[in-house]
Structures are given as C-alpha cells and as structure tokens.
A and B are shown apart, each in its own frame.
Chain A
Amino acid sequence: MTATLPPYDDVLDRYDPVLGLETHVELGTVTKLFCGCSTAFGADPNTQVCPVCLGLPGSLPVTNGAAIDYTVRIGLALHCRIAEWCRFARKNYFYPDMPKNFQVSQYDEPLCIDGYLDVDVDGETFRIEIERVHLEEDTGKSMHVGGSTGRIHGATHSLVDYNRAGIPLVEIVTKPIAGIGHKAAAVARAYVTELRDLLRGLGVSDVRMEQGSLRCDVNVSLMPRGATQFGTRSETKNVNSLRSVERAVRYEVERQASRLDAGERIVQETRHFHEDSGTTSPGRSKEEAQDYRYFPEPDLVPLAPAADWVEQLRTTLPEPPSVARKQFATEHGFTELELTQMTNAGVVDLVRETIAAGAAPGKARGWWLGYLVGRANDAGVEAMSLAITPAQVARVSALEDDGTLTNKLARQVVEAVLAGEGEPDAVIEAHGWKVAGEDELVAAVDAAIAANPDVASKVRDGNQGALGPLVGAVMKSTGGSADAKRARELLLERLGGA
C-alpha cells in the first residue's frame, strides 16, 4: 500500500503545515495521584495497588498535594496563568486497563492556562504557545498474550498490570503551531526536547520517553501555502522518542500531501506510529469516536491554589534550560556547536554530572557524545537511560587519564558496566584487565619481531607503513592491554626506524 510519497521538502514548497503537540508527563511524585501507593517503575505486576487505585467499590480518591505542586510549577515554568479555582472531571469510557471505567482528568477547567515555550532551531527562535496544562490519572497497562505481535489482534488473552493506574499524569497541550514551514519536523523535535529539559530541570519527572514517563501525541495538518483555514488533522498517538517525533511529523506531512495531491480528503483520525518503518497507520476514526460524557468529579473537592502559595512557588523555579545551558557552556569552555550537539543528543545534564564527578570537560563530552550516545541509539533508548551513571563514566575517564586503562580497555570496561557487571573497578578486577607492564611489553615486542621477520626487515629498510601488523601482533598477544603508543616506540627502537 505504501506507494512512493512526495518528498518532505517538496511538499512544504506547496503546503503549509500546522502542528499540535500533546505531551503526557508522568510526575515523579513518591505516591500516586489519589492514593498512597508507590509510583516506582518496574515492580512486579499488581504489587503497587490498593482499593483506591483498583477502583474497588466504595473507595474514594484523595488528591496528592505534591502532584498539584508539581503541576503548578510546570505551569509557571511555561508562563501559564494558574486557575484560581478548577475541578477534576470524569472522562467515561470502558477499557479493561481503567479500574473504574472512567479516568479522573480535567476537562474545561484546567489548572494552568495560556503559556508559551521558546525553542531554537538553527539559530531561529520559535515561540510555541501553550493552551493548557492539566492533571489526570494514568491508566493500567494491558499486555496481550498469545499473539505474535503483542498487539490485541491475534492475542488469546490479555493481562492487566494496575501498578501504573493512578500515577499522576500531566498533559501539556500546545495551541496550533503554524508558520514553521520546512522546519516543522525540527520544531516539533526541538519543542519536545526543550520541554523535556525544562521538566527535568524542575525535578518533576524523570522524563524517560522509552519508559513512557514522557509520551507525545503529534497532530499534523496541511493547508495550501498561503491559506489561513487549517486542514483536517491526524493525531499520531504515543510517539516515544525525540527522533520519532521528528519522523512522525515528516511521515504525516508526506502522507497527507500524497492524499491531497490525489484530490482525496484527510480523515480526522487517530494514528499509530511504527518505530521500525517510521510510518503511521490508522487507529480508530474520530468520526466514530466515543462520547466521553465528561462531568465534574463529585468525589473530589475543587482545587483552589492560593495566590500567595503560587507566588511562592514561582520564586523556587530554576533557570530555564536555555539559560542554564549557556552558563554551563561558558563555564566549561564548550563552543556553541558543541553545546548544540550535546543539547540535541540530550546529554547536557549527563555531561554536567560527569564533570561534577571529576572528569575533564572534553573527556566527559567525548565519552557521551562520541561513544555512549551511539550505544543508546543502538539500544533504542535515550542516553540517560543507559545502565551507566555519570559517576561511573568519570571513574573510567580517570583510570584512562592515569594510564591504568588504555582507550580500548576503557571501552571494554564501559561495555561491562553497561552489561550490568558492576562498578568499573570491580569489572577491571574481575577480568584482570590492566595495561601491560613494560617488561611484558618488551617481551611481546621481541616476540612479534621474531615471529614476523619479513615485516621487521621492511621496517628496518625504512618502511614505517609496515609497522601496523607488528603493533597488531603485540596488541593481540597482550590481549589488548598494551599501550599501543608505547609498543610503537619500542618497535621503532628495536628496528632502528626512529
């Protein structure tokens, strides 16, 4: 079915895109939104539940004040107005992962209204206007068993884990983002990146996209260039990485253009994003969508944040991430390009913490940007989710600096830490990894010369390019623990090529 789509840039010469981004953030409160259950990720299924979050008959919700505090801080950081009075509402629909078959959310009375977030793309600043920030409870998680795909189709049965049910979820909704032309996909990515950094800076969420603590719905529509009437939009749900946000926008722009070019109309519908192919496919059509029968939640009293309390929270806000990043760059002597690279890769905080743990700024940057980001991409996760801490990276870097490890060995240690083998020093100890001593090295060099007389004589004749195989032999016989630079020096001493 996937006919060739018109290329993105080509499409945007002819159409103006309009985006809308709805971001769900799981708050990092210790307990759930309406009960005292833990919010910790990764526990055995249905072990963090109680009558309230299971929706047992007779149970009642009580609002967690910390979740209100976090939401108001998010609203303030996004320059929103904080409602003086608002209510929770029930969103009614049937689904097995919803214990009560309604979700306690907010409808026409959100906690935070009308704000903005500025994002930079290629040196140009875009002001993304925020329509609302509201608080709601998360649902449980269904696992479909017996099918090949893990999806509900073809499954023989489903299991539901309610540990996630009732975790506080903040929804941040932008106003339509127009006038961004060819930069649509980049703006979408930059917005989610900036939002993520802002949320992390506020300390309100661990914002791990691959664990679902930050999820994004991407709404896209196209209109002919110069038009003012927005086109019909598609809503791509649960896009779970920064890269996917960008790809989802690109794909939807291309897909919708192919439809419009063919004289077809766009159906307003929910779509699913596929990480593997970078494409989207239709979910349920909005035209047959449910009526959620919202009404004010009668089990909860209205929220009325006191003005002086809100003002007090405002004074506790950290620097916005853009300001904090610039200070960081200046302090450690990073160039603007280096900062941009680190920002885009989402490693600014990791580099900062690695430096704080004792690593030189250049080394810290090098480890994350030059090695670990690649490993994260391979694993399909964000760098911050790798199983290595900034302190461990700093330790490896220190061992490399003092000559305990060669660069190759250092990478082996990092790999072992990533594989869960423990702290760097323990890994080195367990594997017996160490830089080969001078005596061992000398013996290995002599052995390499003896074993490769032809190559050795070429070097003696002045052909330094022939040195490579001899260095390789030394590295091989020392199990990679040799300092390659020193081995080279020794070889040249012996063969008189220095």
Chain B
Amino acid sequence: MNELLTATATELAARIASREVSAVEVAQAHLARIAEVDEKVHAFLHVDTGGALAQARRVDAGEITGPLAGVPLALKDVIVTKGVPTTAGSRILEGWIPPYDATIVERMRAAGIVVLGKTNMDEFAMGSSTEHSAYGPSRNPWDLTRTPGGSGGGSSAAVASYQAPLGIGTDTGGSIRQPAAVTGTVGAKPTYGGVSRYGLIAFSSSLDQAGPCARTVLDAALLHEVIGGHDPRDSTSIDAPVPPVVEAARQADVTGMRIGVVTQFKGDGYQPGVLARFEESVALLEKLGASIEEVSCPHFDYALPAYYLIAPSEASSNLARYDAMRYGLRVGDDGDASAEEVMAATRDAGFGAEVKRRIILGTYALSAGYYDAYYGQAQKVRTLITRDFASAFERVDVLVSPTTPTTAFTLGERVDDPMAMYLADLCTIPSNLYGGPGLSVPCGLSDDGLPVGLQIMAPVQADDRMYRVAAAVEAALGSDKLLEKAPRL
C-alpha cells in the first residue's frame, strides 16, 4: 500500500510542512484509495474531490500552516458543510445544500485539514451499525460481512481502511467510541461542551458531542485540539481552554495514576475474549505504574433505560423541523393537499423505521401525564449517575471498562432486534449522561480475531487524563500497529 496512506496524521503533516510531499499528492493518494476500496466499504456518502484539492492547494501555497495542515479527513455527514450535501444519513435531507459551515468545519479549514468527503452513518445518528442509514450500510474493513459499528461507522471504517488518517464522529451514546472499538481505531468523545455543537445536526442536544477518530492516540489528540474550545455560537460550550490533550498523549505515562474498574461492566452479555483483553489491559496498566481499584457505580444499570427516554424525547423535538416546508424532501404536494398533509406524507416517506420508533417513543415520554414518570424520572437517574461518577472520581483519576460488550457483529444480526442493538452502547452511555469525556483505544484482538476496545472515562474537562492512559496502553501493546493485522482490501 502507498506509504502516504499508512502514515499517521502527525507524520503526514510533518512531511507536508517540510515539502517532502505536497498536500495535493496526499489528497490525491487518499482520493485514489477511496475510488479503489470504498465500493466494498461504503464509508463515504459524498466525496468532495474539488473541495479537497482546493484546500490542499492552499496548504501547498503556504497559506495555511499548523500541526495538521494538509492532512485528509473523513467527516461524518451529520456535520453541516457549506455548499456540500449534508444528509445526516436520512432521505429527508436528500438534496439539501447547507448555506453555512459548522464551527468545527471552520476550525478544521483554518487549520489546513483537507476534508475528503462526508461519511455514512445511521440516520440522524440513531443506531450502532450504520444499518439504519437511508443510503445502505457501511462494512467493517476487518470483515466485510460485519458492521463497522455506529452511528459513526462511516468515519471509523474510512480511517480503518486507510481512506483517511483522520475522521470526525459524533457521540450521543457511544457513536464515536463503539465504532472505534470494533474497527481497531481510536475514537474520543470530549467533555460535553468541549467541542462546539454549532452545525452538528442535533439528535439529542444534551448528549451530542463531536470528536476525533484516528489510528493513533496522538493523532486523535491533535484533532481534538483543533476542533475544541469555546464557541460563542453554542451556549452550552465551555468557556475554558482545551485541556492539554496533545501534551498528555505525548506523555503516555500512567505512573502514580489511580485507575478505577467499574464493577457493573462485566458478566452476562460480555464476550469472553473482550473481557480477557480488558483484564489484560488492567493488569498492564498496573504493571506500568498505575494503582487499580474496583469502583461500584450502582446506577449505571439504569443508564440504558434513562438514555432511551432522554435521547428520544429530545430527538422528537429536534426532528420536528423536518417538515418539507423550507428545505429537503417534499412529498405529496399535489396542489390540493394541505400543509399538514404534506408534512405528514414527507415525514412518513423521509424517515426510516428506527427514527420513527424513537420519535414516537420520545413524543410519548414527553406527553402530559407521562412526563413525570418517563422524562422526569430519567432526568433523576441522570443526576444519580452523575453522582456515581462524582464519587468514583473522588477515589480514582479515570475509570476503565470494555468499550463495547462484544466485537463487531454481522450485518443483519441485530437490525430487527432493537434491544440487542441498544446493548452495544451499554458501556458508553453513562459518559454521555454525565457529560464527561470517554475514549476508546484498541487493546488487542478477541478470540474471533476481531479488535477489542478499552474505554477510558475521565472527569469533566479532564480529557487529557484519558489521552495519557490511552497513549500508555497504545505504546505498551503496539495498538497503533493492530490494523496491520486486518485483511487487505
């Protein structure tokens, strides 16, 4: 394979900066790779060849410099891009060309990052396999009969199949971390409010957070630093500097750190190979100088049900705007139908089954007479989970768990069983409810030969801690070389 494809983002940026290779050459190599393999992987919904090359030329002209200038990136199609189609994986936004850029897109552009195109995802980020995309599923580069996880399976599959060294995902309940785990890549969900949501098409506003996908911990940290930081256009954005994630990724030292193992994340439903790699990772961390402590978070068992009330409730409201009146799909406008009829016909035709399921669930949970029992109760659980985290972080610096209970599942295996699909996010959801950061780093292969992810969770605004631990694990296990074991496409 072309070594421009296997190089890390850090290496590429250095070589572009030293003029050893041009950003245009790097972009072209990746565009060629997409043309070669994406028919099999289906990571991209839209490839922006013109935009990518134009940006690469700006970098080559010396207009933009920086630690990631000239590095190609795969952007999840839930992030709004001016002049470039943005669908959020839904039929209802087919043909919509946004008139504005998301804040993180502006920041990446200013940093010289070359956006290759928009990647596949479960419709409106609702799903754990990309099978709920209106445009067909993406496939896992490790085994094309398996899913790359979701909802951000497209970005992770693109990174894992060397179509891009970097990707952007969004994580509402695990949509960055779970795909990272099952594709053998790194994925980080920053602290809620750490990265601007302006231009992130909302699924669940109080849970959504964009973050980096990469093949190394350092690359992820560099991207995190570019997209992070306060944005006055997002009220929920934290007005504080980005935690020192790059420094932490370079430090890669856990000496003296206190690491907690969550009691609740084991047992039935966990694949033995996943638990084995997890336990080995914990033993490794101890060997590297960390102290390990078992920590009980009693309310984590309620995280999944609380999540499946809060997220659909907010989604039912966030997705109300897709009504055919102003943009996107319009169905049934025959000149006689009322606006109400056109809205209903469009929403019926434009939304997939999973989106409808969640809209109905959320509408019900917010209804008068049910609000207290469902949405209100779920918010109380959220408070209890936040307290669990708070008391855990009084004793330990970070918490670790498997990222996901199993390795990649096969296409079709869970698509008709929502509960089985939802369980893929069992370990990742608590972070979203609490608002703290979480990261998945590869920690080996399971018995089935598929990658396993180690999840590291840190306190709010202590994102650097998880990079520090992840980088140490990566260095000790050679996780950044794990993808070399994947079959060639």
Interface residues, chain A, with chain B CB atoms under 8 Å away: 51, 54-63, 90, 92, 94, 96, 99-102, 158, 160, 291, 293-295, 298-301
Give the secondary structure class of B's interface: loop
Query: Would you mind naming 21 contact pairs between A and B with Cβ atoms under 8 Å apart?
Result: A51-B100, A56-B99, A56-B100, A57-B201, A57-B321, A58-B198, A58-B199, A58-B202, A59-B198, A60-B235, A62-B234, A92-B316, A96-B323, A102-B317, A160-B325, A293-B363, A293-B368, A293-B371, A294-B366, A298-B314, A299-B205
Check A58–B325 contact: CB distance below 8 A.
no
A101 contacts which of B232, B236, B320 (Cβ < 8 Å)? Answer: B320
B108 to chain A, nearest CB (A): 15
Neighbouring A residues of B100 by C-beta, 8 Å: 51, 56, 59
Known contacts A56-B327, A100-B321, A160-B325; is-contact A301 B366 (Cβ 8 Å): no
The answer for the CA separation of A346 and B162 in the assembled complex, in Å, is 73
Neighbouring B residues of A54 by C-beta, 8 Å: 326
Check A58–B368 contact: CB distance below 8 A.
no
Check B206–A298 contact: CB distance below 8 A.
yes
Does B227 belong to the interface (CB within 8 Å)?
no
A38 to chain B, nearest CB (A): 18
Check A295–B366 contact: CB distance below 8 A.
yes
Check A293–B317 contact: CB distance below 8 A.
yes
B367 to chain A, nearest CB (A): 5
Check A60–B197 contact: CB distance below 8 A.
yes
Check B235–A293 contact: CB distance below 8 A.
no
Does B98 belong to the interface (CB within 8 Å)?
yes
The answer for the CA separation of A57 and B313 in the assembled complex, in Å, is 17
Neighbouring B residues of A96 by C-beta, 8 Å: 323, 325, 339
Check A94–B340 contact: CB distance below 8 A.
yes
Neighbouring A residues of B204 by C-beta, 8 Å: 298
Does B102 belong to the interface (CB within 8 Å)?
yes
Does B26 belong to the interface (CB within 8 Å)?
no
Neighbouring A residues of B232 by C-beta, 8 Å: 62
Chain A residue at minimum C-beta to C-beta distance from B87: A57
B295 to chain A, nearest CB (A): 29
Check B235–A57 contact: CB distance below 8 A.
no
What are the interface flags for B62-81 relative to A under an 8 Å C-beta threshold, 1 for contact and 0 otherwise? Answer: 00000000000000000110
Check A92–B325 contact: CB distance below 8 A.
no
9 further A-B pairs in the complex, CB-CB below 8 A; given A61-B235, A298-B204:
A56-B80, A56-B99, A57-B93, A57-B321, A58-B198, A62-B233, A62-B234, A63-B235, A96-B339
Check B198–A295 contact: CB distance below 8 A.
no
The answer for the CA separation of A160 and B323 in the assembled complex, in Å, is 14
A94 to chain B, nearest CB (A): 6
Check A94–B205 contact: CB distance below 8 A.
no
Does B456 belong to the interface (CB within 8 Å)?
no
The answer for the CA separation of A62 and B237 in the assembled complex, in Å, is 11
The answer for the CA separation of A62 and B366 in the assembled complex, in Å, is 24
Chain A residue at minimum C-beta to C-beta distance from B236: A301
Interface hub of B98, B232, B321, B371 (most chain A Cβ within 10 A): B321
Check A100–B320 contact: CB distance below 8 A.
yes
Neighbouring A residues of B206 by C-beta, 8 Å: 298
- A-B pairs, top 6 by smallest CB distance, nearest first, are A101-B320, A298-B205, A293-B366, A298-B206, A58-B80, A58-B199
Chain A residue at minimum C-beta to C-beta distance from B200: A58
Does B86 belong to the interface (CB within 8 Å)?
yes
A471 to chain B, nearest CB (A): 65
A60 to chain B, nearest CB (A): 5
B323 contacts which of A61, A94, A295 (Cβ < 8 Å)? Answer: A94
Interface hub of A60, A102, A300 (most chain B Cβ within 10 A): A60
B273 to chain A, nearest CB (A): 38
Known contacts A158-B339, A295-B371; is-contact A58 B321 (Cβ 8 Å): no
Chain A residue at minimum C-beta to C-beta distance from B344: A94
A361 to chain B, nearest CB (A): 50
Does B44 belong to the interface (CB within 8 Å)?
no
Neighbouring A residues of B434 by C-beta, 8 Å: none
Chain B, range 162-202, C-beta contacts under 8 Å to A? 197-202
The answer for the CA separation of A295 and B204 in the assembled complex, in Å, is 13
The answer for the CA separation of A428 and B243 in the assembled complex, in Å, is 72
B320 contacts which of A62, A94, A160, A300 (Cβ < 8 Å)? Answer: A94
Known contacts A94-B340, A293-B367; is-contact A55 B235 (Cβ 8 Å): no
Does B88 belong to the interface (CB within 8 Å)?
yes
B466 to chain A, nearest CB (A): 25
Neighbouring B residues of A92 by C-beta, 8 Å: 316-317, 320, 366
Check A291–B368 contact: CB distance below 8 A.
yes
Neighbouring B residues of A100 by C-beta, 8 Å: 320-321
Check A62–B235 contact: CB distance below 8 A.
yes
A64 to chain B, nearest CB (A): 11
What are the interface flags for B373-389 relative to A under an 8 Å C-beta threshold, 1 for contact and 0 otherwise? Answer: 00100000000000000
Neighbouring B residues of A301 by C-beta, 8 Å: 235-236
Neighbouring B residues of A291 by C-beta, 8 Å: 367-368
A2 to chain B, nearest CB (A): 30
Neighbouring A residues of B368 by C-beta, 8 Å: 291, 293
B95 to chain A, nearest CB (A): 13
Does B424 belong to the interface (CB within 8 Å)?
no
The answer for the CA separation of A294 and B314 in the assembled complex, in Å, is 11
Does B59 belong to the interface (CB within 8 Å)?
no
Check B236–A55 contact: CB distance below 8 A.
no
Check B235–A90 contact: CB distance below 8 A.
no
A300 contacts which of B235, B323, B325 (Cβ < 8 Å)? Answer: B235
What are the interface flags for B312-346 relative to A under an 8 Å C-beta threshold, 1 for contact and 0 otherwise? Answer: 01101100110101110000000000011001000
Known contacts A94-B343, A158-B339, A298-B206; is-contact A57 B88 (Cβ 8 Å): yes
Check A102–B320 contact: CB distance below 8 A.
yes
The answer for the CA separation of A340 and B65 in the assembled complex, in Å, is 72
A15 to chain B, nearest CB (A): 32
B93 to chain A, nearest CB (A): 7
Known contacts A58-B102, A92-B366, A101-B323; is-contact A295 B339 (Cβ 8 Å): no
Chain B residue at minimum C-beta to C-beta distance from A291: B368
Neighbouring B residues of A63 by C-beta, 8 Å: 235
Neighbouring A residues of B102 by C-beta, 8 Å: 58
Chain A residue at minimum C-beta to C-beta distance from B100: A51
Known contacts A58-B199, A58-B202, A92-B366; is-contact A99 B235 (Cβ 8 Å): no
Neighbouring A residues of B371 by C-beta, 8 Å: 293, 295
Chain B residue at minimum C-beta to C-beta distance from A292: B368
Interface hub of A100, A295, A300 (most chain B Cβ within 10 A): A295
B84 to chain A, nearest CB (A): 13
Chain A residue at minimum C-beta to C-beta distance from B196: A60
A263 to chain B, nearest CB (A): 32
The answer for the CA separation of A300 and B202 in the assembled complex, in Å, is 13
Chain B residue at minimum C-beta to C-beta distance from A157: B335
Interface hub of A58, A298, A301 (most chain B Cβ within 10 A): A58
Neighbouring B residues of A160 by C-beta, 8 Å: 325
Neighbouring A residues of B320 by C-beta, 8 Å: 92, 94, 100-102
The answer for the CA separation of A99 and B320 in the assembled complex, in Å, is 9
Neighbouring A residues of B363 by C-beta, 8 Å: 293
Interface hub of A54, A57, A101, A291 (most chain B Cβ within 10 A): A57
The answer for the CA separation of A149 and B349 in the assembled complex, in Å, is 34
The answer for the CA separation of A90 and B234 in the assembled complex, in Å, is 17
Neighbouring B residues of A58 by C-beta, 8 Å: 79-80, 86, 98, 102, 198-202
Neighbouring A residues of B233 by C-beta, 8 Å: 60, 62
Check A99–B80 contact: CB distance below 8 A.
no
Check A90–B321 contact: CB distance below 8 A.
no
Known contacts A51-B100, A295-B313; is-contact A57 B323 (Cβ 8 Å): no
Neighbouring A residues of B367 by C-beta, 8 Å: 291, 293
B468 to chain A, nearest CB (A): 30
A156 to chain B, nearest CB (A): 8
The answer for the CA separation of A56 and B182 in the assembled complex, in Å, is 33
B335 to chain A, nearest CB (A): 8
The answer for the CA separation of A90 and B205 in the assembled complex, in Å, is 12
The answer for the CA separation of A62 and B200 in the assembled complex, in Å, is 15
A172 to chain B, nearest CB (A): 25
Neighbouring A residues of B202 by C-beta, 8 Å: 57-58, 299
B315 to chain A, nearest CB (A): 11
